[in-house]
Amino acid sequence: MKDILENIESQFEMFQVLDENGEIVNKDWVPDLSDDDLKELMRRMIYTRVLDQRSIALNRQGRLGFYAPTAGQEASQLGSHFALEEDDFLLPAYRDVPQLIWHGLPLYQAFLFSRGHFHGNQFPEGVNGLSPQIIIGAQITQAAGVALGLKKRGKKAVAVTYTGDGGTSQGDFYEGLNFAGVYSAPAIFFVQNNQFAISVPVEMQTNAETLAQKGIAAGVPSYLVDGMDVLAVYAATKKARKLAVDGNGPTLIETMTYRYGPHTMAGDDPTRYRTEDMTNEWEKKDPIVRFRKYLEGKDLWSEDEENKIIEDAKDDIKKAIKQADDYPKQNVTDLIDIMHDELPNNLQEQMEEYKEKESK
């Protein structure tokens, strides 16, 4: 049994295109991206890093509610999303708001979602996705169902879902993966292994050497990818998407990454369970620094371009938070009204009571 397990684990060597110095280490897997595509990918990562910094500041000012920092995971999040199409359906976890924004969710609505306002969950027409899932792992089973629905409708699209390493400890993870495998559903399951499920290190969640190998039991092709390498994540996602739309079923992708900040801004203190040396080592692998070196080596990037993106992001965020501030406050009657097509008698009574209170 030990020999079999070691043979399985040996299949999951980490896939990488760019090393920490921005040098190509796997020429066969360099994605076919134009210079403009490469620059756009970098723009999105820079923009998202600024968005994270400003969102943390806004949270501390009391202007945002729930917020899960994203710095360090830009390559995993945006490299994967860049390989998708508009018709693909996103089922994110609560740290994956950036993918929704780049999929078309207006920034002000992302801020309203953080505040718990119902309009933050009312996606515009054509934005294919569900609200970020707060229940750990629940989006995995949902993704299997959405993917099967896409297949039954004959859509050339995929359902893409994200969870963290902690999500693989939930029963929903195995159930969703198995269901998608059985029905050859066009889904991509992302496990963003940022080493800690809140404060629990991954080695205390599983005895497996990788999380990717968990796809074997479900008969699902699986890959272990350097989640700090945006080109590797893009290439793996592109391959998984082609497999799915060609009728070859789901793929599981584990991205090895790291969140620099706390699990959420709701009182988590990462210094209690992570060492400074660990964070310093991961910062040497920073996805933005790595990709910047690569682009500079191709004469595709400059400090002036980067500074403009930073200023543009700050300006967009300033306008979006004002738009969120100016949006009508939600009332209890709003929540009652949008929950049912036809209100039951008890809620009709409550609706009248609250209407009277709100009118005063």
Catalytic residues: 259, 263, 273
Beta strands (DSSP E) in the chain are 89-91, 159-164, 187-193, 196-197, 200-201, 222-226, 251-256
**Angle CA(247)–CA(252)–CA(256) in degrees, nearest 5?**
145
Phi-psi category of residue 214: left, alpha or beta, with phi > 0 → left and psi -120 to 50 → alpha: alpha
For residue 309, CA distances in Å to 43, 59, 134, 303, 305 come to 7, 22, 31, 10, 6
- Residue 83 near residue 241, CB atoms below 8 Å: yes
Give CA–CA dist 133/291, Å, rounded.
30
Q: How far is it, in rounded angstroms, from Cα 233 to Cα 259?
A: 16
Question: How far is it, in rounded angstroms, from Cα 337 to Cα 249?
Answer: 40
Are 259 and 72 spatial neighbours (Cβ–Cβ below 8 Å)? yes
Q: H or E element: which one contains 91? A: strand 89-91
Pairing type for strands 159-164 and 251-256 reads unpaired
The crossing angle, in degrees rounded to 10, of helices 35-60 and 303-326 is 50
Element (H, E) at 35: helix 35-60
The residue type found at 128 is: N
Which strand (E) or helix (H) includes residue 197? strand 196-197
- Whether 120 and 95 have beta carbons less than 8 Å apart is answered as no
